[in-house]
Chain A
């Protein structure tokens, strides 16, 4: 019900494609998408395996609501072992391909092994085939997307694809779908390319039915849409300004990581904000923003469609970039902007286009460039390394050059593709890498927002804001306002957000709905669609089970409580300006309490009582 109850298994080594029923016992425990695919992954691969070897598997997965009329119900995730972190990776994306896959009749596609030569999967309802991809291997996501559309003469086909960065081993390569949506983080695109899988092209015409109680479902969906429309964030702020509405807000809070997180406020923030994207340019009188855009079924429509000034140095002689495409979201605007010290909106938009065109996570890319810029300022990285480029903080030219060479895997771009941790280690300055478990920080400085320090330190996929977005509470007052500068109560807050988010990520819905929706709005939509008695309470229990299962994967992969920490810069170098001036992140005040309320030992390992309570294997995955 709502689930298609069908899994496709594609063995890339042998070329065999099979169909099997979805494990409904597991679906009752893990719901779908993030949770259910993580269950499959933990059952099917050795957590210690080489993430880029044939023993790793890559699961493309929808949630039970994906493809239905619930607002935002077009999400899918890619779940695999990350080459960037060694942790379980789960990257969530919108656009349209998730719903297309469900409409074709599939909950999940599990890719295993490695194709002897580059291929792509062509899937139309019950029919699937692996097609040689030699002609598009070595080309960008955008080129490959256009080529496949032309080959099949089918404009309605939906495509997810990896770019040249992934093929060249960039460790934070994304899977790009529908041209400018991405399963962005943790290098899931790198895993896909390591399997010689260039793309997945889907056309579905079967539809999504099997809703348990359609009358109750449509009523719950209708009610949910009204809540989103009436809420100031989801009804006004996000559609008008996108996620980049946060740029000025977070800067004022003093939590805007700037110049590789040396500072917590950026003097150029108002020039790269969501508001600035509406301002007419001096040159051609047009604003950066053309329109907002919705993903499948989304009644919020926070997406940005932007253009670059045709006279700008980045594209004046490149007409292929003169049209509109996916514009800046807050994370990209921060990573490419504040963290590199660049305040040129057109340059950031160009770098963002390149990240989409060749499939790079703009957060990890921007943060890695920022670390390289700091090492350049110190004289550790020189013009000899960069081939003559002045890799200075604030240089729009250097940023756009870095995007070009990293996207194509050329020269110094190969080193930038290593990510911040490996790059800083290579040049002898591991302390300059702003990462947790090897993944780069997102756009909230944990000195100015204490709960985000615990969020990053304990996130199951390395530093990430989307694992527990306590910013909602600490800055925006959702669901209740807490003081961003205190640590008390943050362990409880982080756990609550982690569990709730893990559940939402398993439904097919977008986590941005939770600016307006509580679990009391979400659970009735799930319960009306799915068998299993999905109360808000059961949703939160499921989220906690998923969180602990991910933790078990990471522990079995060799990651330990010692890795639940932050770079010294966050723990020892005080914020220089703003409301958090003089503050560091006091992780030590939060972490022991967090372990305690999680039911983990002081070593950060779930106790056997906790495992029993959640229905997890005693002794952990390795046992």
Chain B
């Protein structure tokens, strides 16, 4: 069963534990500026929104890459950048409609979320459950349940 990251912004407090965990996993140091997942703060609205790659099926980045440096991991569903193949042309960063593929000016290659090989550190680190890793066929299950609970029908208490 494939899993996917499920993000519930209303639970996010903007603490950046996910960015710390991501950068530590990927780079070996605590460095939010290198995180594959980013928290966006909409200060005037009091909203925090985690955002990262959704691992599109027909991934724009993968199709755009001229050297086939972005590959499909059929075990996790992730689109992964092969750093030793990537030539740093940045076409993938242009192709991605969501901006979740970026260029690392230190390493001179593209980088993006690879789901940590199937055990995403961001989800493990999130203290509020704003980021979870769930059945890819049913990322909407929790929201369906919440709305189902509000549905009026004739129950035992009626």
Query: Is B43 among interface residues, defined by CB-CB distance under 8 A?
Result: yes
Chain B interfacial residues counted at CB < 8 A: 26
Tell whether, in the assembled complex, residue B127 and residue A229 are in contact, meaning their CB atoms are under 8 Å apart. yes
* CB of A292 within 8 Å of the partner chain: yes
* Secondary structure dominating the interface of A: loop
List which B37-67 residues lie within 8 A (CB) of chain A: 43-48
Instruction: Output the nearest chain B residue to A180 by Cβ-Cβ distance.
Output: B43
Interface string of A176-217 (1 = CB under 8 A from B): 000100000000000000000000000011111100000000
Q: Is A103 an interface residue (CB 8 A)?
A: yes
Which of A267-275, A293-301, A437-445, A603-611 lines the interface with chain B? A293-301
With a 10 A CB-CB cut-off, give which of B23, B27, B28, B46 has the most chain A CB atoms.
Answer: B46
Instruction: Flag if B127 contacts A208 (CB, 8 Å).
Output: no
The digit string for A298-312, where 1 denotes a CB below 8 A from any CB of B, is 110101011100000
Give per-residue flags for A89-108: 1 if the beta carbon is below 8 A from chain B beta carbons, else 0.
Answer: 00000001001000100000
Q: Is the CB of A209 within 8 A of B45?
A: no
Once the chains are docked, how many angstroms separate the CA of A126 from the CA of B48?
A: 30
Chain A residues closer than 8 Å to B46, beta-carbon distance: 290-291, 293, 305-307, 324
Asked if B32 is an interface residue, CB under 8 A from chain A, the answer is yes
Compute how far the CA of A307 lies from the CA of B45 in the bound complex, rounded to whole angstroms: 9
Instruction: Report the count of interface residues on A (CB-CB < 8 A).
Output: 36
Would you call B33 an interface residue if the criterion is a C-beta within 8 Å of the partner chain's C-beta atoms? yes
Nearest B residue (CB) for A72? B15
Residues of A within 8 A of B81 (CB): none
A68 contacts across to B, CB distance below 8 A:
20, 30
Contacting residues of chain B (1-43) with chain A, CB-CB under 8 angstroms: 13-17, 20-21, 23-24, 27-34, 43
> Do B33 and A296 touch (CB < 8 A)?
no
Using A291-B46, A295-B15 as known contacts, say yes or no to A69 and B125 having CB atoms under 8 A apart. Answer: yes
Asked if residues A294 and B15 are in contact (CB atoms below 8 Å), the reply is: yes
| CB-based contact A69/B127 at 8 Å | no
Interface centre among A67, A292, A305 (most CB of B within 10 A): A305
Identify A209's interface contact among B16, B17, B29, B125, CB under 8 A. B29
Q: Is there contact, CB below 8 Å, between B15 and A296? A: yes
Partner of A324, one of B24, B32, B43: B43
Q: How far is the CA of A68 from the CA of B30 in the complex (A)?
A: 6
Chain A nearest CB from B98 CB (Å) reads 17
Checking A179, A206, A225 against B127 with a beta-carbon cut-off of 8 angstroms, the contacting residue is: A225
A280 adjacent to chain B (CB < 8 Å) = no
Docked pose: A190 CA to B20 CA in angstroms: 34
Interfacial residues of chain B within 95-123, with CB under 8 A of chain A in the complex: none
**Contact B17 A207, beta carbon cutoff 8 Å:** no
Identify the interface centre among A179, A204, A290, A294: most chain B CB within 10 Å of its CB. Answer: A294
Q: Known: A69-B24, A323-B43, A325-B43. Contact between A206 and B15, CB under 8 A?
A: no
Q: Which chain A positions have C-beta within 8 A of B28?
A: 209
Are B13 and A293 in contact, with the CB atoms below 8 A?
A: yes
Beta-carbon contact of B43 and A207 below 8 Å: no
For chain A, residues 322 to 339, give those with C-beta under 8 angstroms from any C-beta of chain B. 323-325
Distance to closest chain B CB from A135 (angstroms) = 22
Given A206-B31, A207-B31: A299 in contact with B15 (beta carbons within 8 A)? yes
A296 touches B30 (CB 8 A): no
Contact A179 B30 (CB under 8 A): no
Q: Which listed residue, B14, B21, B24, B31, touches A294 by the CB 8 Å rule?
A: B14
Is B128's CB within 8 Å of the partner chain A? Answer: yes
Cβ contacts under 8 Å, A297 to chain B: 15-17, 20
Q: Determine whether the beta carbon of B31 is less than 8 Å from that of A293.
A: no
Q: Are A301 and B48 in contact (CB under 8 A)?
A: no
Q: Is residue A156 contacting chain B, with contact meaning CB distance below 8 A?
A: yes
Determine the residue in chain A with the shortest Cβ distance to B41. Answer: A293
Chain A to chain B contacts (Cβ below 8 Å), 18 pairs? A69-B17, A69-B20, A99-B32, A156-B33, A179-B43, A206-B29, A292-B13, A293-B13, A293-B48, A294-B15, A296-B15, A297-B20, A298-B15, A301-B127, A303-B13, A306-B46, A324-B45, A324-B46
Residues of B within 8 A of A (CB): 13-17, 20-21, 23-24, 27-34, 43-48, 125, 127-128
